[in-house]
């Protein structure tokens, strides 16, 4: 695992060098180098700490666009697929590291966040369905709900299927998973934006929000969406992976 961690560090270093010296066409493809390197480094850290290792909305809401992509469709699509494939592993590796670092502490528990009423999760599912549809119907006003809808749509399904559910955690007063994935979302969000900022082929945001400070290319308000996005990712991967409670 130390060798893989070193390989990951080397990929990140190579990506940084290519970002700054701009040797085409190689500078177009640095983003996958960063994220596969990041995943390998965190996987090595998680192995050392724990002994184990682990864009259809934007077609409508158009909140970001890509620049300096190669003109050929295949050369543009293939790196995007490779890059997007890093999202779930990166979030889960980061969450595993955060969990390992705080694992020796007592689980974060509070009073019940949501009541244990019979039809509550059905209502939350309908709320999630509404939030998921609104960006398609009114993209100018409800672009933000793309960062929330899938969580409220999928998490009640996970609970019904007997799979891990953050909403169920809230009902039991357990915030451990929520805090771990929120932190992981903001850590990954920082690196997504940091590496994107220096990349030659990159995305720019066209979010319809008032002028405000930016975190690299991202408007500050938009950066807060990375936390809810991590919860959506948890709900999605829990559903498709079939993991049971």
Domain range for 40 = 2-241
Confidence (pTM): 0.75
Number of domains in the chain: 1
> Tell me, what's the pLDDT at 186?
97
Closest CA to 94 of 198, 204, 186, 231: 186
User: What are the tens digits of pLDDT across the range 117-153?
Assistant: 778 999 999 999 999 999 888 888 888 888 899 999 9
Instruction: List, in sequence order, the alpha helices (H) in 52-210.
Output: 58-61, 73-84, 87-102, 120-137, 139-142, 149-160, 166-171, 176-198
User: What are the tens digits of pLDDT across the range 31-75?
Assistant: 778 877 887 787 777 667 655 554 555 556 566 666 677 777 766
């Amino acid at each position: 695992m130390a060798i893989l961690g070193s390989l990951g560090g080397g990929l990140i270093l190579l990506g940084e060098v290519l970002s700054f010296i701009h040797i085409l066409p190689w500078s177009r493809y640095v983003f996958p180098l960063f994220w596969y390197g990041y995943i390998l480094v965190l996987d090595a850290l998680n192995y050392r700490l724990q002994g184990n290792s682990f864009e259809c909305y934007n077609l409508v809401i158009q909140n970001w666009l890509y620049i300096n992509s190669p003109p050929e469709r295949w050369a543009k699509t293939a790196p995007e697929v490779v890059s997007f494939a890093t999202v779930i592993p990166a979030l889960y590796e980061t969450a595993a590291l955060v969990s390992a670092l705080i694992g020796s502490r007592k689980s974060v528990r509070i009073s019940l966040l949501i009541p244990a009423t019979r039809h509550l999760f059905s209502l939350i599912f309908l709320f999630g369905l509404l939030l998921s549809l609104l960006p398609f119907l009114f993209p100018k006003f409800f672009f933000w709900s793309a960062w929330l809808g899938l969580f409220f749509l999928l998490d009640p399904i996970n609970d019904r299927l007997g799979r891990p559910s953050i909403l169920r955690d809230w009902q039991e007063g357990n915030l451990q998973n929520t805090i771990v994935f929120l932190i992981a979302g903001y850590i990954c969000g920082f690196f997504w934006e940091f590496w994107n900022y220096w990349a030659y082929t990159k995305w720019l945001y066209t979010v319809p929000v008032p002028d405000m400070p930016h975190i690299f290319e991202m408007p500050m308000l938009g950066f807060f969406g990375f936390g809810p996005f991590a919860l959506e990712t948890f709900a999605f991967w829990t559903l498709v992976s079939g993991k049971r409670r």
